[in-house]
Amino acid sequence: MATIRTSLALVITASFLGGCYGNIDSFSKRAAALSCKRVKECDGQVFEDQYKGDMGRCKDDVEDAYHDQFDPLIDDQGCDYDPKEGRKCIHTANKLKKDCSDDADQDIADDCAEVLDCPGD
């Protein structure tokens, strides 16, 4: 569970994977899919324990977690989703979905840091 949170946090807490990710919903759906694939690849036992191998359940749970994180920032804090930064984040996360190194974690976090543009940033 902690590893799943760590993997999710790399994308979520970075501020927040090609394709068209013109809105936060399409971004969240793809980011959730890539996050789940990476957790399954990098920490298969945690994935099995948490989701019983059910990729759909993982994607739904992670997408919900993204919305829980993003929606208040967009609705209440005045942040805007940046599609260009969303594509950059998705590209890096997709490229590194099978790389379980700390360097890959950092690369994903770095390339996902500007997905939301918030006042005062």
The predicted-structure confidence for 25-65, as pLDDT tens digits, reads as follows: 999 999 999 999 999 999 999 999 999 999 999 999 999 99
Domain ranges (residues) in the chain: 2-114
Per-residue confidence band for 96, with pLDDT thresholds at 50, 70 and 90: very high
- pLDDT at residue number 5: 44
In b/e form, how buried is each residue of 8-35, taking b as 16+ CB within 10 angstroms?
bebbbebbbbeeebeebebbbebbbbbb
pLDDT at 8 over 60: no
Per-residue confidence band for 79, with pLDDT thresholds at 50, 70 and 90: very high
